[in-house]
Structure 1
Amino acid sequence: MPRRTATMLASTLTFIALLCAGVFITVPYSEMSPGPTVNTLGEAGGEPVLQISGRKTYPATGHLNMTTVRVTGADYKMNLVEAVYGWLAHDNVVVPHDTLYPDGKTEEQSTQENAEEFTQSQESAKVAALKQLKVPVKSRVVVSTVLKDTPSENRLHAGDVIRAVDGTSVKEPGDVAKLVVKHKPGEDVVFTIVPAKEAAAAEKAGKEPEGTEKVTITTVKADKGDRAIVGIHAGTDHTFPLAININLADVGGPSAGLMFALGIVDKLTPGDLTGGKFVAGTGTIDDQGKVGPIGGIEMKLVGARNAGAEYFLTPGENCATAASDIPDGLTLVKVNTIDDAAKSLEKIKSGDTAGLVGCSAS
């Protein structure tokens, strides 16, 4: 056999051997890729994404698309060949497995956490949208979670409205913890509550919960530190003057909050916020309308542009990363609040795009 032929054959066999080895060698990485986008002004699964009753709504054209990211599952074993391909591919990102599933979190746990964050983001989107429209929303502090094997188990319940702690009225969820930690472990804390069942009945009737009772809880020492705890997480519940339902399955996490809020504003406002333009975006939102950062911004930009978006509403804290690799034809718009976003949409609608605040890579 000629030397040249033998060399080529050996090289080919070596390459095949390395390729086969790469297929069987697993690496501790996961992959993120662009997911689908959904127009919050349109339909998903044959139903409107936003269904509003109890107040006049208006037809809305154009797009206000929320964006998503696909990720490999917690149990997925990526091989070396897939990792190398992902590193080289422009539309995918390979990240350490622990970035998506920290502390050995299972896929089931991650899915549950994402579902809870998605539900909370919807509530905050409703509150932020109605506040933007100057529609009053009644809020109250509630027990959001009761931790297992703690003093509050079977004494307090999720949905209980917390009126006061030790006789001091509470206005924000953070007030509860501040009042509890004034105690030493082993001391009693007195909660003035409206039980969850009564609170739910009042909310259904569109009334404020009434009829309080007192519950005494003996504090214990936290697992870390010397502070006193009772074993609950406090949160906020709301009574809305109209019904807003968000119908979207198989989506999790808090990052659609901004786009849901804008969709609600558009539906409750005469005319179009977008002027018929294709706008996509992302960002968490809180009850005050503040927009927060999200993960996977690069993938969301690609997904939005692939869907046809011309403008992308970008959380300010994500701007530098987003601006480092902008898909052709997509204009980034920096937003820090829902009001920023609404004013940016006015400029897009009017064609005054020179007045938009963009993103910088620095």
Structure 2
Amino acid sequence: MSRRAATLVVASLFILLLGLAAALMPVPYVALRPGPTSDTLGKLGKAPLIQITGAKTYPTEGHLNFVTVAYQGGPGNRIDLLTALRGWLDPDVSVVPEETIFPKNVSTKKVEQENTQEMTNSQESATAAAMHELHLPTTVSVLVDSVQKGLPADGRLRPGDQITAIDGTKIKDIAGVTATVGARKPGQTVKFTVKRDGKETEIPVTTVASPEKTGKAVVGVILREKYQFPVTVKISVGDVGGPSAGLMFSLGIYDKLTPQDITGGKFIAGTGTITPEGQVGPIGGIQQKMVAARNAGATIFLTPTQNCADAVAAKPKGLRLVRVDTMDGALQALTALRTGQGAIPACPAK
């Protein structure tokens, strides 16, 4: 072999090794793929996914599946360039910058904890939305979740305090607290009536100017609402996190508590956050969630209006998109699908 040929062989091998090394180099991206999907009317393991006690429940047919997105990568477990390239070429996979899922200066553990808390909150909101739709009485309590260090409430109010009134006016929800305190001028004193350790006490707190909103009065508390329902609802989803299953949880609870089978035996999947009043909000990963639903056998997909444009662009064959803004609207659409009568909102909105 001539010296020139040997040089070319060595150079080619060197370039090949550099290419392989580059392909295996970790990159700060996350690959999003279709994740598991579960029927809210079915079981998780041996137990019903939704268990209701304290009221009569009814047998159901069909499916009301919530869907998830699985991710690969993240800090400490980054995907390599080759995996990212394969994901970019796969229409069912989205490759996104790492900070989209894991914000900078936030640990992976913290992100997972937040996702778990969002799932817990979504289950409570879903139960409240179902009770609202069924016209069943629900009691709401406003609790102090945390106190911001260095602000007036620090050392005055405590996590777990139940706020029952402000300046003698009964409080029904967080909006009432925010509106009442916000109507004061910075420097004015607000008298909180709180229930602590089973006893009610009045605690004066002087407001200060909000560091974020000019002229707005604050005291420095983070609040949360606690609901008391006329029935006990337990939702088991394993290690799934996030708020996007809220709509499907609320529909599953409603279906179990009503004699009418709202699916009509159809395989329905969907997604969307839910508020206690039944408002449906947008979610992430709509492309992967639709693929997961269709792969599981769904033919109808309940889609938040704000996700419609992306959903239409990536809709799998054989999946019908039904646009939803509220739980009540979703129920009306399901009735129309079941009976063949009435309008069925479609994506995109007309």
Q: Report if TM-score (shorter chain) is over 0.5.
A: yes
* Partner residue, 1:63: 63
Give the stretch that moved more between structures: 119-128 or 2-11: 2-11
- Distance, in Å, in 1 between the alignment partners of 2:305 and 2:183 is 37
In terms of mean alpha carbon deviation, does 97-106 or 334-343 score higher? 97-106
Counterpart for residue 117 of structure 1:
118
Q: Distance in 2 between matches of 1:133 and 1:112?
A: 32
Q: Aligned AA for 1:310? A: T
What displacement does 1:326 show?
0.7
Moved more, 171-180 or 326-335: 171-180
Which of 306, 326, 336 is equivalent to 2:325? Answer: 336
User: Which whole-Å deviations, capped at 9, do the CAs of 1:105-151 have from their partners, x for residues lacking one?
Assistant: 21111111111211111111111111111212122333233334544
Distance 1:14 1:48, change over 3 A: same
- Amino acid in the other structure paired with 2:326: T
Q: 2:44 maps to which residue?
A: 44
Q: Structure 1's 103 and 181: CA in aligned 2 closer, same or farther, altered over 3 A?
A: farther
Matched, 1:271 2:260: yes
Q: What's the TM-score, normalizing by structure 2?
A: 0.89
Aligned residue in 2 for 1:23: 24
Q: Which amino acid aligns with 2:253?
A: I
Amino acid at match of 1:38: S
Q: Is the alpha carbon distance of 1:340 and 1:225 closer, same or farther for their aligned partners in structure 2, counting shifts above 3 Å? A: closer
1:11 & 1:137 partners in 2: Cα distance? 73
Which residue of the partner structure matches residue 160 of structure 1? Answer: 161
Q: Please tell me whether residue 216 in structure 1 is matched to residue 204 in structure 2.
A: yes
Deviations 1:173-229 (A, max 9, x none): 12323333445555533211122x43xxxxxxxxxxxx5310122444544455443
CA contact (8 A) 1:301 1:327 kept: yes
> What is the CA–CA distance in structure 1 between the aligned matches of 2:345 and 2:60, rounded to whole Å?
25
Instruction: Give, in whole Å, the separation in 1 of the partners of 2:6 and 2:39.
Output: 58
- Provide the C-alpha distance between the structure 2 equivalents of 1:361 and 1:31, rounded to a whole number of angstroms: 30
Match of 1:320 among 296, 309, 322: 309
Change (3 A) 1:82 1:263: same
Aligned mates of 2:94, 2:6 — CA distance in 1: 39
Q: Percent identity?
A: 45
Distance 2:224 2:206 in 1: 21
Partner of 1:175: 176
* 8 Å CA contact retained: 1:322, 1:361: no
What is the identity, as a one-letter code, of the residue corresponding to 2:229? Answer: F
Of residues 72-81 and 334-343 in structure 1, the stretch that sits farther from structure 2 once superposed is 72-81
Shift of 1:165: 2.0
1:231: which partner in 2?
220
Aligned residues: 347
Unaligned runs of 5+ in 2: none
Asked if residue 106 in structure 1 is aligned to residue 107 in structure 2, the reply is yes
SS of residue paired to 1:328? coil
Matched, 1:247 2:236: yes
Unaligned stretches of 5+ in structure 1? Answer: 199-210
Distance 1:181 1:136, change over 3 A: closer
Equivalent pair of 1:63/1:274 in contact (CA under 8 Å):
yes
